[in-house]
Structure 1
Amino acid sequence: MLNKRVRRGFTLVELLVVIAIIGILVGLLLPAVQAAREAARRMSCSNNFKQIGLGLHNYHSAFKQLPVQSGGTYVSPTNANNSNRHLLSFLVPLTPFIEQQGLWDMISNPRSVNHNGSDRTPPFAPMGPVPWDRAYTPWVTQITTYRCPSDPAVPPANFEGFTNYAASLGDGVASNNHSCRGERGEELTWCAPARRSCHNRGFFESRRTTKFRDMLDGLSNTIACGEIVVDNNTLEVRGTVVNRGSNASFFITPIDCEDTIDPEDPQFHLAGTNTNNWSVSQNKGMRWTDGRPVMTSVTTIMPPNRVSCAYSGDGSDGMFTVGSRHQGGAHILMGDGAVTFITESVDSGDLSANSPNWPTGGTMTRKSPYGVWGALGTRASKETVSLEF
C-alpha cells in the first residue's frame, strides 16, 4: 500500500491573520522610523547653529566686533537700489566664516553679470545691491548651513534664499530695524539722543556695532540667535508675522497680538488676517540676506512658537518670535556658542507689560518684564540668568 503525502496550503483565515500581524508591526515601526528621522534632522539643525556660533566667534576674533545686523554700505547718490542701503543681515558677512569663501568673494567684489547670464552695466557694486534684487546671483543662492532640515519650506524658482536662524535684538519692539540710524549711517535726530530707549537691548543692535565686551550679563547668559520658521503662506502662527498696520497697542501690551488667532484652531490665524505679501518674500525667514527684523531677527518677548506681529508692512517695529518645526520648542544660540533647546513653557513673565524700549521709560539697565525669557535676551540689564533655569 502506497503512502500519499497531502500538500496543505494556507487557509484564507491564516493568510489574513499573517497580513494583519504584518500591518500591526508596520504600524508600530513607522512612528519609530519617523521619530528617528526627526531626531537626525534636529541634530543637523543644532549642528548648523553651532557652525554659526563658531563663525560669530571667529568673526569677532578677526575684527574685534560682531557682524552688524542690517549693515552694509551707504546709499548710492545716483542709484539707491544699486547699493544695499544698510539692509544686509549679519549672515552676509558671516559667509567666509562658515566655509562660504567663494560666495563671499562674489559679494565683496564688483559683479558685471546678472543672474540670467546677461551683462550688467554698470556692474553691481561691492557688497551687492538691495537684498530683494533677484538679478544678483548671491542673493538667490541657498546656503545649506542657514536652513534647518526640519523645515520643509522650499524657495520657488529665482526667489531669495531662506533662513531658519535669526539675530536676537532683545526684548523691545521699537525701532528694531534701525536703532536710530538711517540708511546712510547717519544718526536720526528725531529719535536720538532723547529717545535712547529706541536702541535694541539684545546681543545684536540693528545698524550698530556690538562687541563681546558689551555683553555685561555674560556671553553664557545672553541669547545671540534664535531659530525661526519660514512663512509657508498658510497663516500658521509660528511662521506668520501679522501686519498690524497703524495699531500700536501691542507696543504697550504684547499679548494684544493674539487677538487674530483662530480660537477653534489656535495654531493658525483667522482667515483674512493681514500679513505681508508672500510673493515678494517680505516674510519671516524668506531672505537670509535681508537685515530687516521681519525676516532675520527675533525678540525675546513671546515664548517659542507664539505670535509675531509688526507695526508696518516692512516690520520696522515689531515682535518677532522664535519658533521651529521641532516638538515643544526651538533652538537658541547663546553668546558663548552653546546651543540649547528652549521649551514653549519657558517663563515669559508679564506679557501685558510695557515693552522696555517703548515709548520713553526704558533704559539699557532696566530688568526685563518678560521673565527668564526676556532676561536671557538682554545683554546688560543686570540679570545673569543661567541655562540652568
Structure 2
Amino acid sequence: MKLSRVQRGFTLVELLVVIAIIGVLVGLLLPAVQAAREAARRMSCSNNFKQIGLGIHNYHSAYNQLPTQKSGTGMSAVASWDLTNVNGNCEELSALVGLLPFVEAQSAWEQISNPNAPNKDGSTGTLYPAMGPTPDGAVQGGNTADTSYGPWNEELAFLRCPSDPGEGLPAAGRTNYAVCLGDSILSSTEGPTTRTLYKKDANAGQMARANCRGAFVPRQRAMFRDILDGLANTIIMGEITTDLGDRDIRTNPRVSGAVATFALDPSVCGGPTFVDASRPQFWAATGVTLINAASIGRGMRWADGNPVYTGMMTISPPNSATCVTNEGAYDHNSDTLVATVTADKRYGLMPPSSRHQGGCHVLMGDGAVKFITDSIEAGTQTNPMVAMIHASNAGLPAGSQSPYGLWGKLGTKASKEVIESEF
C-alpha cells in the first residue's frame, strides 16, 4: 500500500507568532537606533563648537583680542541705540559676525564687509545695513529680520546643532551657540556704554566693571589675559536651543518685572506658579506674560548681539527657564534704568540649553568642549547676584565670588575662584 505525502505550510497561528516576534525585536532595536542617531548628532554639535573655539583662538592670534560682542557701525542720526535707525546697526552685531573669516565663512564675511555689493539674490545691496525691522514692521537697530539683506537671514551650518529642529520664519538666521556673559544680568545689553553709545559716562562704566563678569563684555574689547581664573576653568560660550513658538521655558522668555527685584532672587523666573504642572518644560497657559512677538526668541538671530539671541549666563543651571525684566538700558541723562527699550534688548536671565538629553555643551577658554549636565552644582538660586545699579549695590557687592556654586565659578573670568574637581 502506497502512502501519499502531504505538503504542510505555516498555520495562521505560527505566522502571527513570527510577526509578533519580529515586532518585539524591532521595538527593542528602535531605541538603540535613535540613541545612535542622537549620539552622532551630539558629536556633530561638539565638532561645530570645536571649530568655533579654534576660530576664536585664531582671531585672538590675529588681533590680540576676542571678537567683540556688540560691534559694528554707529548710530547715524538717532537718539539712542535702541531706536529706529535705517543707516546703521548701532553697534549691535554679535561676536559671531567678526568670527566669520576664521571659521571658513569668508563668503558671508565678504558680503557683510562690503554691504553695498549686490545681494545673493541679485537685488541691490545696502550701503549701511540696519539690523532689520521689528516684529511690528518698524526698522529697529538690533533686530536681524531684514529680508532685503541676505547675510542676516543666512543659515550657517557651523552655527546649527543637528539636534535642534528650528528652521525658517519668523526667525532670521538661527544660532545654537552663544557667548558667555557671566553670572549677572546687569549691563548685559549695553556694557560700558549708555543709550547714546557714550563711552565715558562714569556710572555706565562703573556698572559694567562690576556686573560684566564673563569672558565677553558687550561693546568692549576682551582678551584672554583678562581671564585670570584660567582658560581651562572658564566658560567662554555655551549651547542654546532656538525657539519653536511652543511656550518652551528655555526659549520663550517670560517678562518678570523690575531689575532690582529680579537681581535679589533670580529663582522667581521659573517659579512653580508660572509653569505648566503637567508639562514642567512649558509655561502655563494662563497667568504668564511672555514676550509678545513671534520673532523674538532664543537663538533666532545669529547676527544680533542682544542676550536673548546670542548670550548665555551661568546663574541658573542648563535648561532652566528664561526671563526678561521690564528694564534694560542705562540712560546717563536721567541717571536711570529705562523700560522703553524693546523686549529683546532688556536685561534677562539666559541659561544655556540644548535638545540633547540631560545637559548641554559649553566651550572653555582653552578650546575644550565639555558636556555640562542639568544637575551641575549651582549654589542657592535664591541668592542675589552681583548687581550694581548706578553707583549702588542692588545685590552682592562688586568683586564677590559667584553665589551660584561651581556653575557660577565656571562662568566668571576673574573672581579668584578655585575649581577643585573635574566637572
- TM bracket (short chain): over 0.9
Aligned-pair distance for 1:289?
0.5
Residue in 2 that maps onto 1:99: 104
In 2, the alpha carbon distance for the partners of 1:55 and 1:21 equals 52
8 A Cα contact 1:201 1:364, kept in partner:
no
8 A Cα contact 2:210 2:398, kept in partner:
no
Deviations 1:177-236 (A, max 9, x none): 011314664226373355355541001011111100000001111100011111111111
| 1:137 equivalent among 134, 150, 162 | 150
Aligned-pair distance for 1:242?
1.3
Residue in 1 that maps onto 2:366: 336
1:202 aligns with 2:214: yes
Aligned-pair distance for 1:166?
0.4
8 A Cα contact 1:73 1:127, kept in partner:
no
Amino acid aligned to 2:128 = A
Residue in 1 that maps onto 2:333: none
In 2, the alpha carbon distance for the partners of 1:199 and 1:258 equals 22
8 A Cα contact 1:348 1:370, kept in partner:
yes
TM value normalised by structure 1: 0.92
| 2:381 equivalent among 342, 351, 361 | 351
Deviations 1:105-133 (A, max 9, x none): 0100132546764335xx32379775332
In 2, the alpha carbon distance for the partners of 1:247 and 1:381 equals 23
Farther-moved stretch of structure 1 (171-180 vs 296-305): 171-180
Deviations 1:234-264 (A, max 9, x none): 1112222212254752211000112322233
In 2, the alpha carbon distance for the partners of 1:194 and 1:271 equals 41
Aligned-pair distance for 1:149?
0.5
Aligned-pair distance for 1:342?
0.5
Residue in 2 that maps onto 1:217: 229
In 2, the alpha carbon distance for the partners of 1:148 and 1:84 equals 27
Farther-moved stretch of structure 1 (55-64 vs 247-256): 247-256
Deviations 1:287-337 (A, max 9, x none): 000000111100100001111111131242111011111111111000110
Residue in 2 that maps onto 1:181: 193
Deviations 1:256-299 (A, max 9, x none): 112322233211111142222443x2211000000001111001
In 2, the alpha carbon distance for the partners of 1:278 and 1:317 equals 17
Give unpaired runs (5+ residues) of structure 2.
Answer: 79-83, 133-140, 327-342
Residue in 2 that maps onto 1:154: 167
Q: What is the DSSP-based 3-state SS (H/G/I as helix, E as strand, rest coil) of the residue aligned with 2:97?
A: coil
In 2, the alpha carbon distance for the partners of 1:286 and 1:126 equals 18
8 A Cα contact 2:76 2:88, kept in partner:
yes
Amino acid aligned to 1:18 = V
Matches within 5 A, 1:64-75: 64-75=64-75
Amino acid aligned to 1:186 = Y
1:292 aligns with 2:297: no
In 1, the alpha carbon distance for the partners of 2:398 and 2:228 equals 11
In 2, the alpha carbon distance for the partners of 1:174 and 1:324 equals 24
Residue in 2 that maps onto 1:262: 276
1:108 aligns with 2:99: no
Deviations 1:27-55 (A, max 9, x none): 00100000000000000011101011001
In 1, the alpha carbon distance for the partners of 2:202 and 2:302 equals 30
| 2:285 equivalent among 231, 246, 271 | 271
Amino acid aligned to 1:271 = A
In 2, the alpha carbon distance for the partners of 1:387 and 1:324 equals 24
8 A Cα contact 1:85 1:184, kept in partner:
no
Farther-moved stretch of structure 1 (320-329 vs 69-78): 69-78
Q: What is the DSSP-based 3-state SS (H/G/I as helix, E as strand, rest coil) of the residue aligned with 2:417?
A: coil
Give unpaired runs (5+ residues) of structure 1.
Answer: none
Q: What is the DSSP-based 3-state SS (H/G/I as helix, E as strand, rest coil) of the residue aligned with 2:51?
A: helix
Residue in 2 that maps onto 1:4: 4
Residue in 1 that maps onto 2:338: none
In 2, the alpha carbon distance for the partners of 1:295 and 1:314 equals 8
Amino acid aligned to 1:111 = N
Matches within 5 A, 1:297-308: 297-308=311-322
Q: What is the DSSP-based 3-state SS (H/G/I as helix, E as strand, rest coil) of the residue aligned with 2:98?
A: coil
8 A Cα contact 2:188 2:307, kept in partner:
yes
In 1, the alpha carbon distance for the partners of 2:49 and 2:195 equals 29
In 2, the alpha carbon distance for the partners of 1:376 and 1:247 equals 24
In 2, the alpha carbon distance for the partners of 1:214 and 1:127 equals 32
In 2, the alpha carbon distance for the partners of 1:203 and 1:108 equals 25
Q: What is the DSSP-based 3-state SS (H/G/I as helix, E as strand, rest coil) of the residue aligned with 1:40?
A: helix
In 2, the alpha carbon distance for the partners of 1:85 and 1:216 equals 31
Deviations 1:112-160 (A, max 9, x none): 546764335xx32379775332210101110011010011111228x41
1:227 aligns with 2:261: no
8 A Cα contact 2:324 2:349, kept in partner:
yes
Q: Would the alpha carbon gap of residues 365 and 246 (structure 1) be closer, same or farther in structure 2, given more than 3 Å must change?
A: closer
Farther-moved stretch of structure 1 (262-271 vs 355-364): 355-364
8 A Cα contact 1:196 1:363, kept in partner:
no
Q: What is the DSSP-based 3-state SS (H/G/I as helix, E as strand, rest coil) of the residue aligned with 1:82?
A: coil
| 1:249 equivalent among 254, 261, 269 | 261
Aligned-pair distance for 1:384?
2.9
Provide the aligned length of Structure 1 versus Structure 2.
385
Residue in 1 that maps onto 2:47: 47
Q: What is the DSSP-based 3-state SS (H/G/I as helix, E as strand, rest coil) of the residue aligned with 1:7?
A: coil
In 2, the alpha carbon distance for the partners of 1:102 and 1:237 equals 36
Q: What is the DSSP-based 3-state SS (H/G/I as helix, E as strand, rest coil) of the residue aligned with 2:370?
A: strand
In 1, the alpha carbon distance for the partners of 2:194 and 2:145 equals 19
Q: What is the DSSP-based 3-state SS (H/G/I as helix, E as strand, rest coil) of the residue aligned with 2:276?
A: coil
